[in-house]
Structure 1
Amino acid sequence: MPRAQRVHFFGAVYHVIARGNNQEDIFKGQSDKRYYLNLLQKYKKKYPYSLYAYVLMDNHVHLLISVMEDPLSKIMQGVQQSYTQYFNNRYSHLGHIFQQRYKAILCNNDSYLITLMRYIHQNPVRAGISNGLDYHWSSHKAYLRGDDNLVETDFVFNMLSSDREVALQQYLEIMSNGDVQKSELVDGYITYETDQKPNHNTTIMSNITISQLLDTVAQETGIEQDRILSEKGKRAIVYARNLFIYSAIKKGVATKTELASFLGISLPSVIKGYNLIQQHQK
């Protein structure tokens, strides 16, 4: 049976898990992990994506990735094949080092994204590694320093608060909440890929749909719906789009990740638009 393609749309967020073949180690030393991180950086430039969290354990990898124009499969193919070549050459190994196809779990909920980040950063704790959260090969340290050029910490911080110090405190509280339970995680992964986006005409937490809200914002601002959805640059249109984003989130019509896919923009752009209107409202 041929493999089904994975879901792909601009702004889709995935929890990626790549394990060693037969649970064998894929990293034999720190230099191997450093090389893998360099590959993530290399392919981030080639196929732009956003990385929100990672951890490199000896026999597996966890990544929290948001894709843009290029599908996840292209990114992971480049990273995994390049690392396999490196590993085989260095250790005179033949064949696959990764366990068949990586798993990719689609994340379409803001709170679940935070849960996944917590789960990923707590992997060393669950493994009984002595330095736990301070494990060197995890993106947790990037959130503490805020100066990492591989991980987009601003996106998660902005989800928590527009005030950086408050966001950092909230992040630390989240990370101190203990281990993520299996019941909090999605079991399995999405295996269908089309260019179709999720259906946003269903009511989520509100009594109006996202399409109805778009119509309301269009009437209030005098900007046509198509222009709110597609045009860029003009201040009035940017304001209308940001107002739509802010209203959808505040009214519980859609999450930030759902808005990113609906509008065809990145998650950081959604967060930025929301924050701009929120600051204007104060």
Structure 2
Amino acid sequence: MTRRAREMAETGVYHIMLRGNERKSILASDGEKQFFLDCIRGKQNETNFSLYAYCLMDNHVHLLINIQDNELASIMKGIATRYAFFYNNRHNRVGHVFQDRFKSEPIEDERYLLAAVRYIHNNPVKAGMVSNPEDYRWSSYWAYIQPELFGEEWIDSASILGIIALDRKSAIEEFIRFSKDVVEETFIDIEEKSGIKTLDEGGCILREYLKQEGLPITIKEIKENQELRQKAIVFLRANTQLSQRKIAILLGIDKSIVEKVKL
């Protein structure tokens, strides 16, 4: 079967999504996330393009970029290849790190551009990892709401804020309000929860995740360690369709413990 031709943007602006091969957490640690950002910056130094927004999740990445006059495939290949070499070397493995080729969708107008920024920054909220976008470390959100402290030249938040208002302070205030609007927006994404509904399936994906993280893999150790327990609960709620009751049964804990974990 031939691949479907990639839809090109007249504006040069694209929403990009890369996911880990076989749904694996290829950006599980802070060090891995930081290196992926370094890969973006390195490619940006080689090839001039604007980065409007990003969000790094454990098993996938969202980017919003303006490639200007450059080749999209070349930019993404450079980023992905450098990271894959680092990841395979770090984990003493060979093979594909990312699943298939990256996904992309063209952004052709300012309304859709603003909506894409909001969607990307709210990815951790959608996944149940945090309650608000400002609570998540690995996105470009803080480069917008406190550009003096967190903004970096390689993140072009000024262009987006300039669409909202000419006055920087007013633009940031409106951006914060806009970012928290509850809107059902449709963009490229992945099936985070992948239909996992049974205890057996939940146990399998949890053991795989803990193994990748280098953590104890027994339920007893998870049950007795509050930090591990919280990590397991957050992972199961974000990556499966298990109810809170089933998660409690799987971990051998009371349902109230699952309910108290803040996402």
Pair in the same fold by TM > 0.5 = yes
Identical residues among aligned pairs (%) = 34
Residue 41 in 1 paired to residue 41 in 2?
yes
Hey, what's the Cα distance between the residues in 2 that align with 1:141 and 1:125? Answer: 15
Hey, what's the Cα distance between the residues in 2 that align with 1:116 and 1:171? Answer: 13
Contact 1:54 1:63 in 2 (8 A): yes
**In the alignment, which residue of structure 2 is the partner of 1:156?**
160
Cα offsets for 1:80-129 (capped at 9, x unmatched): 01100000000012100111011000110210111111110001111222
Hey, what's the Cα distance between the residues in 2 that align with 1:128 and 1:18? Answer: 20
Cα offsets for 1:241-279 (capped at 9, x unmatched): xxxxxxxxxxxxxxxxxxxxxxxxxxxxxxxxxxxxxxx
C-alpha deviation, 1:145, in angstroms:
1.8
Contact 1:15 1:64 in 2 (8 A): yes
Hey, what's the Cα distance between the residues in 2 that align with 1:5 and 1:94? Answer: 29
Larger RCO, structures 1/2 (Cα 8 Å, 6+ apart): 1
Residue 95 in 1 paired to residue 95 in 2?
yes
For structure 2, the 5+ residue unaligned runs are: 190-263
Report how many residues are paired.
185
Cα offsets for 1:31-57 (capped at 9, x unmatched): 000000011111011111111110000
> How much is the aligned-residue C-alpha RMSD, in angstroms?
1.8
Secondary structure of the 1:58 match is: coil
**In the alignment, which residue of structure 1 is the partner of 2:17?**
17
**In the alignment, which residue of structure 2 is the partner of 1:145?**
146
**In the alignment, which residue of structure 2 is the partner of 1:264?**
none
TM-score in terms of structure 1 length: 0.62
**In the alignment, which residue of structure 2 is the partner of 1:77?**
77
**In the alignment, which residue of structure 2 is the partner of 1:68?**
68
**In the alignment, which residue of structure 2 is the partner of 1:176?**
180
Hey, what's the Cα distance between the residues in 2 that align with 1:138 and 1:25? Answer: 17
Cα offsets for 1:210-254 (capped at 9, x unmatched): xxxxxxxxxxxxxxxxxxxxxxxxxxxxxxxxxxxxxxxxxxxxx
Structure 2 counterpart of 1:170, which letter?
Answer: E
**In the alignment, which residue of structure 1 is the partner of 2:251?**
none
C-alpha deviation, 1:170, in angstroms:
1.0
CA gap of 1:111–1:100, structure 2 versus 1, over 3 A, is same
Structure 2 counterpart of 1:160, which letter?
Answer: I
Hey, what's the Cα distance between the residues in 2 that align with 1:172 and 1:109? Answer: 21
**In the alignment, which residue of structure 2 is the partner of 1:166?**
170
Structure 2 counterpart of 1:161, which letter?
Answer: A
Hey, what's the Cα distance between the residues in 1 that align with 2:85 and 2:79? Answer: 10
Residue 123 in 1 paired to residue 127 in 2?
no
Secondary structure of the 1:64 match is: strand
Contact 1:10 1:69 in 2 (8 A): no
Contact 2:104 2:188 in 1 (8 A): no
- Poorly superposed stretches of 4+, deviation over 3 Å: 1-11
Secondary structure of the 2:54 match is: strand
Contact 2:54 2:121 in 1 (8 A): yes
Structure 1 counterpart of 2:68, which letter?
Answer: M
Contact 1:9 1:68 in 2 (8 A): no
Structure 1 counterpart of 2:84, which letter?
Answer: T
Contact 1:8 1:71 in 2 (8 A): no
For structure 1, the 5+ residue unaligned runs are: 189-282
C-alpha deviation, 1:165, in angstroms:
1.1
Deviates more, 1:22-31 or 1:52-61: 22-31
Structure 1 counterpart of 2:21, which letter?
Answer: N
C-alpha deviation, 1:3, in angstroms:
3.6
C-alpha deviation, 1:7, in angstroms:
4.5
Secondary structure of the 1:75 match is: helix
CA gap of 1:47–1:4, structure 2 versus 1, over 3 A, is farther
